[in-house]
Amino acid sequence: MNAATIGLSDILLVSPMLALFLVSLIPITAKVLRNNREQHPLVTLSQALIGIVIAIGLLIVFGGGGKTAFNNGLIFDGVTQWMGIIALASAGAGMVMMYENPSTTGKQFSELIFLAMSSAIGMLILVSAVDLLMVFIGLELMSLALYLMIGMSHEEKLSKEASLKYFILGSFASAIFLYGVAFIFGSTGGTNILNFMETAAELVQSSRMFLFGMTFVILGFCFKVSIFPFHAWTPDVYQGSPTPHTAFMATAVKTVSFAAFLRVIATKSLVGSDHLFDILQWLAVLTMIVGNAAAIMQNNLKRMIAYSSVAHSGYLLIGVITAGVSDSGAFGASGVIFYLLGYGLMTIGALAIASMLEKSENHIINIDDLSGFAKQRPMLALCLTVFLLSLAGIPPTLGFFGKFYLFNAAIGEGLLWLAVWGMLSSVIAVYYYLRPIVVMYMKEGNAEIAGHSLNATTVTAVVMALAIVLMGFVSGPIFAAVEASLL
């Protein structure tokens, strides 16, 4: 590709990424000009949030219509718009939590926000990439910034361990992904998904090299989205990371990773290979069972949410498989996007409450520490109850409708057994989601939020809880809007 092929339309389409990059430079430039003195953290946060809002606005204006940019390396369609907006909003909420969490605020806050914004740029590349090399670039930009963010925590032991584990296993996953890309290039002569989308089903049957490549690319994504048995890093990294970073990873990173996963599966490779199709179905079932079973045994709140996140990856994989075998794919993909919207709100809200309970960077929150929380902080206890009930899929919350649309799409494509396993797994999950609620309301104790100012995190939690309840009542129109954007 040469400079002559880049036009104004390309620049406009990638303007959300450019906006994020330019805004990310403001805090660290200001710090340099102030003799390495931090500007007020609230100013830094405000600059970042303004950048996020601008990027979302540009994504809404220029991000739809199925246009491509940079020689078909990026595509801007309904998936790009919805997944990009969900990821950016989740990243913004994570930054709000960073502003008030003891592990992340204070010195080097400008650098932290710069890295978070850089990671968000990688996310936007990832949701729009249709060339596998562009997918790799997006993955690495997002992940490398995250490794540094986790390692920068003020907590001295667990965060360093989490950063190293995430780096080693993330690099391993990236290597597997890139190995698969090499085989796809060797069998098709290119790495652009659009070029072999129509012939992928036949290629999987006729070319072992292409089948091998697709398998390795899928395995790379399984690492990134915590599919069993590639999920082992998740509880350790989620627990060891600062809680705002855990929220950042569990929502924004998961969203964009599933967006890229969805684009690869949309090539209909599963239609051409019964073995690959069966293996992915069993991985979805085992992921749901293992995630929920392990979550039951956890007393640490963040580890419980981590294993819960693994189980939710299993639910989402059902939607990805459905999109990969249906004729249009729109209904399955719509279910995945809608589920990620609800999951993001629920998880950020639950982790916002956890962040508020942390009195220092070394404070570990166990479920038993919630004793008496409902008496001390009734509003926040109610918010946490809403988040947990929604994660469990109790009506009329948004989480219930997310599972309803996801399983309904699977049943529509004849994947009844997957939907049944999803429902059974959801029943198992009710136990560990109700446990913190019982502890908050039924046990005497002195659970209390940290003494420092937590106004921004409180607002975040309350807004998320209201959104979950209110959006549950208008889930039909929201789902219809998502589906219409994909047709």
Residue 4: is its pLDDT beyond 50? no
- What's the mean pLDDT in 38-54? 88
Query: Using 50, 70 and 90 to split pLDDT, how confident is the model at 54?
Result: very high
Q: What is the pLDDT of residues 287-321, one digit of tens each?
A: 999 999 898 988 888 888 889 999 999 999 998 88
Residue 121: is its pLDDT beyond 90? yes
pLDDT value for 450: 64
**What residues contact residue 21 under an 8 Å CB cut-off, 6+ apart?**
117, 118, 121
CA distances 234 to 250, 309, 336, Å, are: 9, 9, 21
User: For residue 119, which of 312, 251, 315 has the smallest C-alpha distance?
Assistant: 251
- Token look-up 């508020």 returns 356
- What's the mean pLDDT in 453-474? 86
pLDDT value for 2: 45
Residue 8: is its pLDDT beyond 80? no
pLDDT value for 70: 81
For the full predicted model, state whether its pTM sits above 0.95: no
pLDDT value for 204: 78
CA distance 449 to 418: 41
Q: What is the pLDDT of residues 133-142, one digit of tens each?
A: 889 999 999 9
Q: DSSP class of residue 40? A: P
**What residues contact residue 16 under an 8 Å CB cut-off, 6+ apart?**
54, 55, 56, 58, 59, 62, 63, 84, 88, 124
3-class SS at 257? helix
Going from N- to C-terminal start, the domains of the chain cover 3-486
User: For residue 330, which of 487, 197, 481, 194 has the smallest C-alpha distance?
Assistant: 487
Instruction: Locate 51 and state its tokens.
Output: 């950048």
Residue 221: is its pLDDT beyond 60? yes
Query: Using 50, 70 and 90 to split pLDDT, how confident is the model at 165?
Result: confident
Please say whether the beta carbons of 357 and 368 come within 8 A: no
**Phi, psi at 366, each rounded to 5°:** -100, 160
Residue 90: is its pLDDT beyond 70? yes
Residue 256: is its pLDDT beyond 50? yes
CA distance 350 to 352: 5
Query: Using 50, 70 and 90 to split pLDDT, how confident is the model at 363?
Result: confident
How many of the other CB atoms lie within 10 Å of CB of 275? Answer: 11
Share of the chain above pLDDT 70, in %: 95
Q: Beta-strand (E) ranges in 67-223?
A: 67-69, 74-76
